[in-house]
Amino acid sequence: MLVLFETPAGYAVFKLLDENKLAKTDNLYLDFETPEGASKVLKLKHFEKFADTTEALAATTAAVEGKLCKSLKKMLKKHCSEVQEQLAVADAKLGNAIKDKLSLPCVSNTAVQELMRCIRSQMDSLLAGLPKKEITAMALGLAHSLSRYKLKFSPDKIDTMIIQAVCLLDDLDKELNNYVMRCREWYGWHFPELGKIITDNIAFVKTVKIIGTRENAIQSDLSDILPEEVEEKVKEAAEISMGTEISQDDILNIVHLCDQVIEISSYRSQLYDYLKTRMMAVAPNLTVLVGDLVGARLVSHAGSLINLAKHPASTLQILGAEKALFRALKTKKDTPKYGLIYHSQLVGQATTKNKGKMSRMLAAKASLCTRVDALGEESSFELGAEHKVKLESRLRILEEGNIRRLSGTAKAKAKFEKFHTKSEVLEYPTAADSTLQSQKRRHSEIEEKKPLIEVIGESSESPEKPKKKKKKTEDDAHVEIKQEVEEEAQEGEGKKKKKKKKQEVEEVKEEPVEAAEAEEEPKKKKKKKKKDHTEEADTSQAAEEEMDTTVAEETVTGEKKKKKKKKSQSND
C-alpha cells in the first residue's frame, strides 16, 4: 500500500511496510515515538518538491476544493500507476478524483487519518532531504498566500489606508480653517480692508506674504495672485486704510503663519489626490456612483469595506445620522431620510421633495456596488457607471413630473410622455342640497329672479301709457268747455271717447298677460310668484281705471252744471 502525504514543500509518497499496523490504530502512535520506529513502518518512495509559492498555492487550493492538480497528476502517473497498489489519501474527495482520472484504488478512513497524524509527528526524520527551517519558511509563506486567496485579499485593496487618509483630510480641513481665521484676525488689525476685498483664503494668505506691511502694497506686484481690478482695489485701500501700525517682528510672525497655511493646503491637495487613486483601486464602482469623498467617509464610518458590504441598503442610507435616528425613535417622530449619502452629487441635484426618493434609490445601488467591490474578483467600474446613468434618468423623470407608461410586452422599452393636467375645476352646487325654500334668499336666487323683476316692471309701466292719453282727453275736454260747444255734440263725443278709453285699456291688459304667459313657459318652477305679481298688477290696473272713469264722470257733470248756470244767466 502506498501513502500520499501533502506537505508545504511538496508531495511525498511513502511505502507502507506492514499493512497490519492499520488494523491496530489504537497503539499505532507507539511505533512513531522514535524516528527508528517510524522508519520500520514507512519508507519514503518519492518526494515531488514545489517549484515556487505560486505552484504550492495552486496545488493547495486544488486539494482544498477536492480537485486533482497538474503536478500531482504527473507525479502519480509516473510513480504509482505502474505498481497498481492501493493509495491511502487523507481527503476522500481527492481520492475520488484520483480514482476517476487515473483509475487508482484509493483508501480514506479513520485508520488512514491516524496514520497521517503519526507521519506528521515524525515528518522531519522521514523527509531527510529537507531541513527544518526551509519547511517552516515554506509553510509560513503558503499559509499567508492561502489566507489571501481565501479572503480574496489583495495588497492594492487595503481599506485601512482609505480610512486613515479621509480622517486626516478632515483634520487638515479643521486646522486649515483655524489657521486662516487666526491669520485674517491678526492681520486685520493692521489692514482690515484687505479681508473684505479678497474672499479666497489662499489668495489672502499669499497676498499678505508678498505685501508685508500695507505701505509696501503700492510697490508690490500681485498680478500672479489677483486679477487687475482686485489688485487696484487693494492698492487704493492700502493708501486710506484705518488699521493700526505694527512692528516688523509682528509682520514676521504673521508671514510665518502664512507659510504654514500654504504648506498645509498644498499637502491637503496631495492627500486628496492620493485618496482618489486609492478609492478607485479599492472600490471603483462605489467611487463612480457616489464620489470619492462620500465613498471614503462611508467606508470609514462602517469600519471597513467588508463591513460596509454587510450593511443593507436601508442602513447605508442613514449611515452617519444615528443620533437623529434614535432621537426620532425616542420621540416617535419621522426618521431621517439620509446621512452621509446626502453629500453625493445625485442627491444634491434633486429638489427638496425628491431628495428622500433619490437617497433611497442611491443607497440601494450603492449597496450593490459595495458588495461587488468587496467580494468581486474583477476590478472594473462598469456596474457603477451603469447604475449612475439609470439614477440620472430616473431623477430627470422625477424632476420633469413625467409618468412612466410601459407597453404590453416586458421586453419593449418604456415610453415617456408628459402628463398635461386640465385647468377646469367643477364645483358642487350647494344650493341643490335642500329642496325646501329657506326664509333668507341666497345671492344666486336673487340673480336668477332678475328677469322676473324686469318683466313685472314692464307690465307695471305699461298701464301708464293710457294716463297720458287720458290727460290729452282731459285737455280736449277743457278746450271744448272754453269753446262752448252744444250739449248734444259734447255728450256724443264724450260717449265715443269713453268707448275708445275702454278699448285701449283692454289692449293694455292683453299685452302684459301675453308677455307673462310667454315667459311662464320656460320657468314653470316659479309660476306661483309670477301669478301673485300679475294679480297685483291687475288689481292696480283696475283701481287706476276706476279712478279714471270717476275723474271723467266728474268732469262731465261739472261741464253740465256750468252750461246750466250759463243758460240760467242768459235767460235772466
CATH topology of domain 283-400: Serum Albumin; Chain A, Domain 1 (1.10.246)
Mean pLDDT of the 384-413 span:
73
pLDDT reported for residue 493: 52
Question: Per residue in 159-177, is it b (16+ CB within 10 Å) or e — as a string?
Answer: beebbebbeebeebeeebe
> Which amino acid, one-letter code, is at 142?
L
Q: Grade residue 115 by pLDDT with cuts at 50, 70 and 90.
A: confident
pLDDT reported for residue 524: 46
The pLDDT tens digits for 140-153 are 888 888 777 766 65
The top-scoring range by mean pLDDT among 35-44, 134-143, 297-306 is 297-306
When the pLDDT of each residue in the chain is averaged and rounded to a whole number, the result is 77
Q: How far separated are the first and last CA of the chain, in Å rounded?
A: 191
Does domain 160-270 match CATH 1.10.287.4070?
Answer: yes
Q: CATH number of the domain at 2-151, please?
A: 3.30.420.220
pLDDT reported for residue 26: 75
3-state secondary structure (DSSP) of residue 163: helix
The pTM of the full predicted model, rounded to 2 decimals, is: 0.49
Percent of the chain at pLDDT exceeding 70:
69
H-type alpha helices, 192-247 = 193-197, 201-211, 228-239
The pLDDT tens digits for 546-562 are 565 555 555 656 666 66
Cα dihedral: 368, 369, 372, 375 (round 10): -90
Mean pLDDT of the 12-24 span:
80
Please report, for the chain, the start and end positions of each structural domain, with discontinuous segments joined by +.
2-151, 160-270, 283-400
